[in-house]
Amino acid sequence: MKIHEYQARELLAKFGVPVTASVLAHSGEEAAEAFDRLRGDHGIKMAVVKAQVHAGGRGKGGGVKLVKSAEEARAVATHMLSKPLVTPQTGPEGVPVKKVLVAEAVDIAKEYYLGIAVDRSKGCPVLIASSEGGVEIETVAEENPEAILREPIHPTEGLQPYQARKVAYRLGMAGKQVGQATQIMAQLAKLFLACDASLAEINPLVVTPATETHPAEGRVLAIDAKMNFDDNGLFRHEDLKALADPAEENPAERRASAHGLSYIKLDGNIGCLVNGAGLAMATMDLIKLHGAEPANFLDVGGSASEEAVTEAFRIILDDPHVEGVLVNIFGGIMKCDIIARAVVSAAEHVGFQVPLVVRLEGTNVEQARQILQRAKAQLPTMQVGTDLTDAAKKITTGVKAVDVA
């Protein structure tokens, strides 16, 4: 589960990580009021208006703007809220912006990256830090991998103080910043473990410039935050669950998850219905190998009911980009006859206007074949795939044939 930056900042603050002052706004009017409030309460002179969406790279897409007055905050927020935000992470159609955060702007001497993610090969969380802040960490990893520091975090003992100090020194911090930075790392690690997070990022973590007029500066602060939580841990955290924002999720993905299906929308033209994540990945690979692109990842799992599988077909067939459907089931716990019944039910309720290739093997496959055979009249576009390659070939040529016609 993802949360918004403004929510992540509240969590950071709760764990004692210093963040800049900020106020959430839903309109230009509220953004102007937010600016005035920050000026009154914190004496700010400048603020940044930041689009609150579950996607990063906002800075590059015009979703982070500096403003110097309440009037400017109003104008910038009104504009930001009026159209979808396109960033390198959203896709070309962008995502709607429903809220903006008005946050105190700070002078920045240096930006750092600080994050915690799960290192699957080590089987523990890992603290990741880099002195190349403000840049996507993936870009740093590609272009300058030695600039990334990694410290494994013991799953029960947590991050040790010596580890945090080592990272702070390697980042090039000195003097009082070392203490502030190690404190932030320790608190971020506590937050990560306590909340069952799967990702907790501060990018950038900044140091403000110390000047003669502001000798107290040189502060270490979080000015952006991103957090994801493990869905399987959410039952332990009612407070975190309440932070979910369904409006940020793809509607088809939301529908699928309500039926216990793992569905991810992709850009291709072949809808796939598969059981098991591994088989789903292999099926997508084969579709690609034979010259088409998958329209989705869909794992119906082992225990889905006929209704849930029928809903899965509805979701696939509702996607206007779908030009063909490939069903690939290896019946084990999932029984082939349930899938066959769902195919027939989808044919009755929605109708397959596009080519359909069905490949079934395993538990109750004979019953399944009979069900499909009996319903042949309702399934004029159906072909049977004898194995995975045959099925992938049939659906890709089927779709191409329709294209030509």
CB of 364 to Mg ion, least distance (A): 51
Among Mg ion, ligand ADP, none, residue 105 binds (CB under 5-8 Å by kind): ligand ADP
Q: Is 113 a catalytic residue?
A: yes
Min separation Cβ 149 and ligand ADP, Å: 19
Interacting span for Mg ion (CB under 5 A) from 41-49, 220-228, 236-244, 348-356: 220-228
Distances (CA, A) of 208 to 11, 20, 184, 214: 22, 11, 15, 10
Q: Check residue 106 for interaction with ligand ADP (CB under 6 A).
A: yes
d(CA 14, CA 187): 10
Token digits of residue 241? 């669950």
> Does 134 participate in binding ligand ADP (rule CB under 6 A)?
yes
Q: How far apart are the C-alpha atoms of 234 and 215, rounded to whole Å?
A: 44
Catalytic residue, chosen from 30, 72, 111, 113, is: 113
Q: How many CA atoms lie within 13 A of 243 on its CB side?
A: 21
CA 216 to chain centre: 38
Residue 31 near residue 73 (C-beta atoms within 8 A): yes
Which one of residues 111, 224, 323, 337 is an interface residue with Mg ion (CB under 5 A)?
224
What's the min distance (Å) between Cβ of 322 and Mg ion?
Answer: 35
Choose among ligand ADP, Mg ion, none what residue 173 binds, the Cβ cut-off being 5 to 8 Å by kind. Answer: none
- Determine which helix (DSSP H) or strand (DSSP E) holds 388, and give its type and residue range: helix 388-404
Q: How far apart, in whole angstroms, are the C-alpha atoms of residue 311 and residue 315?
A: 6
The one segment of 53-61, 146-154, 171-179, 278-286 that binds ligand ADP by CB under 6 A: 53-61
Phi, psi dihedral angles at 348 (to 5 degrees): -70, -45
357 binds, among Mg ion, ligand ADP, none (CB under 5 to 8 A by kind): none
Do residues 81 and 182 make contact, with C-beta atoms less than 8 angstroms apart? no
48 near ligand ADP (CB under 6 A)? yes
Least distance to ligand ADP, CB of residue 44, Å: 10
114 binding ligand ADP? (CB under 6 A): no
Measured CA to CA, the distance from residue 192 to residue 225 in angstroms comes to: 13
Whole-angstrom Cα distance, residue 59 to residue 67?
A: 14
Instruction: Tell whether residue 208 is a contact of Mg ion (CB under 5 A).
Output: no
Active-site residue flag, 201: yes
* CB 206, min distance to Mg ion, A: 11
State the CB neighbour count (10 A cutoff) for residue 15. Answer: 18
* Measured distance CA(283)–CA(289) in Å, rounded: 10
Q: Is 56 one of the binding residues for ligand ADP (CB under 6 A)?
A: yes
Which of Mg ion, ligand ADP, none lies near 311, with the C-beta cut-off 5 to 8 A by kind? none
To ligand ADP, the closest distance from the beta carbon of 61 in angstroms equals 8
Cβ atoms 155, 124 nearer than 8 A: yes
Distance (Å, whole) CA 343 – CA 316: 12
Q: To which residue do tokens 């929308």 refer?
A: 265
Residue 233's binding partner out of Mg ion, ligand ADP, none, with CB under 5 to 8 Å set by partner kind: none
Q: Which of residues 251-310 bind ligand ADP (CB under 6 A)?
A: none
Point out which span in 50-58, 73-81, 123-131, 390-398 binds ligand ADP (CB under 6 A).
50-58
For binding to ligand ADP (CB under 6 A), which residues are involved? Answer: 20, 48, 50, 56-59, 64, 103-106, 108, 111, 134, 203-204, 223-224
Active site positions, annotated: 113, 201
